[in-house]
A = this chain, B = another copy of it.
């Protein structure tokens, strides 16, 4: 007993000392590894030979470009399948980081759920701005268009009950999270870079948004390492088997064209769980407002697309958030005021499909 008491006391004090840097910070993220890299892309070489005395002469010089930029974090005790998050049109990896109103985005929320998280800047965007072809950037004011099209409201009014902060600083951050393309947008090139990422990291779950929705289906048809897709408000690129495509859908914004692909390619999308989420304030009847009517046809075609997948043995689900009582979401459910709720919804999907 003379031995036992000091012995246990020593063990306790040692254990408590070790706890100090960890258990006293229950809110701390435990990151096993983090980093960044470029993936995909190509190299062009100007004819001629490089003259070191004329460094400004492009003759014989190379240009590496059209790659994707990736920033990743792997938490301690990580789950097996990483989440690869791909932004939408005019956006970049920032979308998944801090929300416009300053809260944690999906990047950090899912790290806390022990998922490895990879954020993409697609080729010719943000940190992947180095392109192999020239670009012209107009800097044309267009933010009221996006305010309406991303369904924050009807400029300058926010929708009643919309899941977006009324703090002007939030709108300021929101507008500043867009970035221009540094060269013409090339979907095939984007898909190739994302497929190259999955070649590098192996099996994972692709999380897409808006414009990357359609490119995401293409990437999944190319790369079997894409084991599931979570798509927030996909806005284009709905692929149907040849002969099964619905007629184009006309809105006051545009005419939404379905895409026909060989049945064999389409069937590849029936081998993985797919979930689509759409937010609130999408009109059910034709509207003269293009920013809103745009989503009426997209939601309608998404429903037909999910039916087609399941008709062919797929495992696709469309969740229209208001129909399950989650109201006020914009085009960005992952960064809206209720993004902890939408994250929980996505986490439950991953769990239900044994992707966790």
Q: Which residues of A contact B (CB under 8 A)?
A: 1, 4-5, 8-9, 11-12, 15-16, 18-19, 21-23, 25, 27-32, 34-38, 41, 44-46, 50, 52-53, 55-56, 58, 60-65, 67, 69, 71, 76-77, 92-94, 97-98, 102, 104, 108, 121, 126-145, 148-149, 154-155, 172-173, 175-180, 182-183, 252, 288-291
Contact A62 B141 (CB under 8 A): yes
A23-B22 contact, Cβ under 8 Å, with A12-B12, A179-B129? yes
Contact of A102 among B29, B37, B53 (CB under 8 A): B37
Chain B residues contacting A65 (CB-CB under 8 Å) are: 139, 176
User: A53 CB to closest chain B CB, in angstroms?
Assistant: 6
Chain B residues contacting A155 (CB-CB under 8 Å) are: 50, 52
User: A169 CB to closest chain B CB, in angstroms?
Assistant: 10
Most buried by B among A50, A130, A141: A141
CA distance A46 to B140 in the complex (A): 9
Chain B residues contacting A35 (CB-CB under 8 Å) are: 97-98, 102, 104, 108
Q: How many copies does the complex hold?
A: 2
Contact A141 B44 (CB under 8 A): yes
Contact B180 A52 (CB under 8 A): no
Chain B residues contacting A102 (CB-CB under 8 Å) are: 35, 37
Chain B residues contacting A8 (CB-CB under 8 Å) are: 5, 8-9, 12
CA distance A18 to B37 in the complex (A): 34
27 contacts between A and B (CB under 8 A): A4-B5, A11-B12, A18-B22, A21-B30, A22-B23, A27-B32, A28-B76, A29-B30, A29-B32, A30-B30, A30-B31, A35-B108, A53-B252, A55-B144, A55-B148, A55-B291, A61-B142, A62-B143, A63-B139, A63-B140, A64-B143, A69-B94, A92-B127, A128-B179, A129-B129, A130-B178, A131-B180
Contact of A15 among B12, B60, B179 (CB under 8 A): B12
Known: A8-B9, A134-B138; 4 extra A-B contacts, CB below 8 A, are A4-B5, A29-B34, A92-B127, A131-B139
